[in-house]
Amino acid sequence: MISRRQLRIKALQSLYAYYKTDREDMGRSEKELNFNIQKAFELYHYLLLLIIDVILYAESRIELARNKRIPTHEDLHPNTRFIDNQLVDQVRNNESLLRFVDQHKLNWSNYPELIKDIYAKLIENEEYASYMSAEESGYAEDKKMITHIYTHVVFPSELLSSVMEEQSIYWNDDLEFITSMIVKTFKKFKEGDGPDKSLMELYKSDEDRDYVVKLYRQTIIHREEYVEYIKLNTRNWDLDRIAFMDILIMQMAIAELIGFPSIPIKVTLNEYLEISKFYSTSKSSVFINGVLDKVVFQLKEEKKIVKKGRGLIGEND
C-alpha cells in the first residue's frame, strides 16, 4: 500500500528527527521510522472506519425524526438511500477492517463534532443531493457517492486536519496519500464481495520493506562520504549556508543512486526533486537539481553508480 515516494518521505522525516535530536541513536530512530510507517497504515483503517460513523449518525438523525411528537410524512417515510449504501455495508462488515480496528482500539467516539461536521457538509453537497434524488440507484452509484465523499468532503475538512494533527504529527502529511489509497481500495470492491474481501497490505512487497530500511541506514552510515560529494559540487557555496533539509534530501538521493542498482537514475532524481518542493524552500528543487546533476556525473566517472535490470531504463537517452 505504501508507495515508494511515501517511504522516501517517511525516511526523510525520521532522518531529520535523528539529526536534530541531542543524542543520535540509530537503532531508536529506526524503530521510530517503522512506527511512522505503521501509523500511516493505521490511518488507512481509521479513515475507512469514518464513513461508517457518518452513516450511523445519519441513521440516528432519521430515528430522532421518526420519534418526534408530531412527525411529518417525510419523517415517517425517510429517504434511506445513503444509510443503505451497499459499499458502506461491505466496509462495515469487512473482517480485515474489523480485526484491525479491534486490535488497535480505533474509534471516532471522542470526535462527535467531526462526524456532525462531515455530515452537515455532506447534506449541503450538490453531488449528494443528486444521488439522493436520482431515479436510478445501484451499486455503481453507491460506490461513486462514497468515493466523492472522501475526495470532496472528508479530505478537504479543516476539522479533520486539526484532529489528525492532534493525534499524530505526521498524519496531516499522510492524509492526501491515504485518501488516494482508500479510493483505490473502493475501486477493487465489486458487488457481491463478501466480508472476506482483502484490503491493502502495508507494503506492496518485501522488496519495499527492505528498501526503506536500507535507504535509511545507508544515508546515515555514509553521511560523511555523501556530504563530501555535495561539498565538491557546491564550491561556490559555504555548506553552512545551504538549508539543512536540502543537504539531507541530497544525501538520500546519493544513497539511492549508489545503493539501488534497479532504480533508474531519472526516477531517483525526479522523486527527490518532487519531495524538495514540499519539504524545503521554494528555490530548493532548482538548486538540488543542479547539484545532483554534477554529483551523478562524478559518481559515473568513479564507477560508483552501476545500474542493472530496470535500473538501466533511460540510461541511453
Hey, what domains does the chain have and what are their CATH numbers?
A: 4-188 (no CATH), 222-312 (1.10.940.10)
Using CA of residue 146, residue 167, residue 279, residue 265, what is the dihedral sign? Answer: negative
* pLDDT classification of 317: cutoffs 50, 70, 90: low
Burial of 254: CB neighbours in 10 Å, binned 0-12, 13-18, 19+: buried
* pLDDT classification of 310: cutoffs 50, 70, 90: confident
What pLDDT sits at residue 26? 84
What pLDDT sits at residue 46? 97
How do residues 194-244 score in pLDDT, each as one tens digit?
999 999 999 999 999 999 999 999 999 999 999 999 999 987 777 777 889
pLDDT mean over 190-197: 97
- Can you say whether residue 194 is alpha, beta or left, with left for phi > 0 and alpha for psi between -120 and 50 degrees? beta
Asked if residues 128 and 72 have their Cβ atoms less than 8 Å apart, the reply is no
DSSP 309: G
How do residues 69-96 score in pLDDT, each as one tens digit?
888 888 888 999 999 999 999 999 999 9
How do residues 205-218 score in pLDDT, each as one tens digit?
999 999 999 999 99
CA distance 39 to 155: 18
Report the helix count and the strand count for the chain, using DSSP H and E.
15, 0
Cell 412527525, residue located: 71
pLDDT of 308 over the 70 cut: yes
Report percent pLDDT > 70 for the chain: 99
What pLDDT sits at residue 281? 87
CA distance 70 to 76: 10
What pLDDT sits at residue 316? 67
Mean pLDDT of the residues in the chain: 93
pLDDT of 176 over the 70 cut: yes
How do residues 17-66 score in pLDDT, each as one tens digit?
999 886 678 888 899 999 999 999 999 999 999 999 999 999 999 999 88
